[in-house]
Each structure stands twice: as C-alpha cells, then as structure tokens.
Structure 1
Amino acid sequence: MDHLLHLDRTLDELDPPRWTAAAADATHLVRKVHELRCVLLSELRPADLRTLITQQVALPYVLPLAVRLLLEEPLLDAYFYEGDLLLAAVEAPASAWALLPDLAARLRAVITTLPDAAFADLPRGAAEELARFVARTESPC
C-alpha cells in the first residue's frame, strides 16, 4: 500500500481509533501529538514528523513521509540538530520498518553514501545507531 496516497487525510482518519482530546493537565508533548493527528499529512512539517516518530505514532503513515524528505536531504535539521529526523527514523522499531521494506532499503542506501565527515557533528552514538540500521536485515517471517 502506498501510504503517500493519503496526503489529503489526517492520522485520525487513517489510523483508527480517533483519539479523544488531550486531558486538560496533559503535557505539552501529549497535547502536541494529539494536535498533529488532526493535521493533513501534506501539512506535517519535518519537526512534526520527528515528534510523531519518536512517540511511535502511526508509523506506517509517518515513516514514508520522513523517508521522502530524507532521500533528498539525509541530514535534514528537523528541529534540534542536523540529522535529527534521520536518527528518529532509524530508531523506529524494526516492526514498523518490516511493513516498509522498500523504504527501509532506500534509506539504508542513502545512509551508506554519507561521507564519514557527515557523522562528526551528530550526537554521541549516532554513527553506531545508523550502522545498526544499515546492518539490520528484514526477517522472512
């Protein structure tokens, strides 16, 4: 299924059940995630995608949007630092990537083309996390 065909819909529409409004005493992050589920996929910004991915929300719909950006600019600065969206994506659970094997393969290919110097400004442990993602193989089951 091509998840990018749904750009005119929201996560609440695509990823049932719809979420109720965040509690009045919810944290800023919880309120933000609830709000993002009501935004059209076409209007989600890189920082929004990073937030949704790190919170593991609707990954089958969010990861393809992130990969689309990362194929063009692997070290995209979504919010915190260059490469933060890439790191969020590769840290998504293997079970989410198992649903998107072609996208995972394309992202792996992009990562392997990054020069060593690209890793210098990433947080400690990032290069290892990227290497683990590249080395990960899809389970046949």
Structure 2
Amino acid sequence: MDHLLHLDSTLDDLDPPRWTPPAADATHLVRKVHGLRSVPLGRLGPADLHTLVSQQVALPYVLPLVVRLLLEEPLLDAYYYEGDLLLAAVEVPASAWDLLPDLADRLRTVITTLPETAVADLPRGAAEELARFAARPGSPR
C-alpha cells in the first residue's frame, strides 16, 4: 500500500471519527492539532508534521510523510533544532512502526548512515534514542 496516495485528503477524512472542535479554553497546542487535522496532507509542512508526530496523531498517515522528508534531509530542522523531526519519529511507539515495517527499515538505514559528528551535535540522549531505534528488529525478509 502506498501511504502517500492521499495527499489531497485530510486526517479528518482518513482517520475517523472527525474530531469535534476544541473547547473554548483549549490550549494553543490542542487548537493547533485540531486545526492540522483539516489540512490536506500534501500541505502539511515539517513543523506541522513534527507537532502531529510528537502528539501521536494519525501516525499511519503522518509517518510516511515524515519518512519521505527524512530520506531527503535526515537532520531537518522542522521546528526547534537540527534533527528534531528525526528524534520525534524515533520516539514514536514501536507499535506504530510495526504497521509500517518498510518505512521503519528505510528510516533505520538513514540513521545508520548518519556521520558520527552529526549525531554528536544533537541534543543529549539523541544518540541513544537513534541507536535504540536502529537496533529494533527489521521487517521479516
């Protein structure tokens, strides 16, 4: 299945049920995530994807977009710092990656090819998170 076929659809379309509008006193983050669910997938930017991945929203639809970006630029600065999108992706529960084994394998390949100097420049603990993800068993061959 090609997870990128739905770029004109929104998460509200693809990941039912549609969310109700946030409460009037909702936090900025809650309002933002609710709003992102109504944006066509093809229009979500790196910062939007970072937010959705960090909040674990509709991961089967969001992770393919994230991996597509990371294949091109593994240490993309999506929102906070260089490599933040990669770190958000590897911190996703393994159960989400189990649904996307080929994408997980591709991301593991990206991680294992990162130069040590680049990994050393990431925040404290990042190297361990990347190594943990890379060490997960891959999809069956």
TM-score range, shorter chain: over 0.9
Aligned-residue offset at 1:120: 2.1
- Equivalent runs, 1:61-140 vs 2, <5 Å: 61-138=61-138
In the alignment, the residues of structure 1 paired with residue 35 and residue 121 of structure 2 have an alpha-carbon distance, to the nearest angstrom, of: 32
Q: Give a deviation string over 1:113-132, Cα, whole Å, max 9, x none.
A: 11100112211000000000
Decide which moves more: 62-71 or 116-125.
Answer: 116-125
| TM-score for both structures, normalised by structure 2 | 0.97
Q: Are the equivalent residues in 1 in contact too, given 2:50–2:88 (CA < 8 A)? A: yes
- Tell me the distance in 2 between the aligned counterparts of 1:83 and 1:118: 9
Amino acid at match of 2:7: L
Give 1:3 shift: 1.5
Shift, 1:137, TM fit: 1.2
Instruction: After TM superposition, give the deviation of residue 139 of structure 1 in Å.
Output: 8.0
Runs of 4+ in structure 1 displaced over 6 angstroms? none
Instruction: Measure how far apart 1:138 and its partner are.
Output: 4.8
> Aligned-pair RMSD on alpha carbons?
1.1
Query: Quick check: 111-120 or 67-76, which moved more?
Result: 111-120
Unaligned runs of at least 5 residues, structure 2? none
Letter of the structure 1 residue corresponding to residue 32 of structure 2: K
Distance 1:49 1:118 in 2: 22
Q: Structure 1: how far apart are the matches of 2:117 and 2:71?
A: 18
CA distance in 1, matches of 2:87, 2:111: 11
TM-score normalized with structure 1 length: 0.97
1:35 has 2:31 as partner: no
Equivalent position SS for 2:130: helix
Task: Classify the secondary structure of the residue corresponding to 2:5.
Answer: helix
**Letter matched to residue 36 of structure 1:** L
Gaps of 5+ in 1: none
CA contact (8 A) 1:101 1:138 kept: yes
> How many residues align structurally?
140
User: In 2, are the aligned partners of 1:90 and 1:133 still within 8 Å (CA)?
Assistant: yes
Which position in structure 1 is the counterpart of 2:46? 46
Q: Which residue type is aligned with residue 26 of structure 1?
A: A
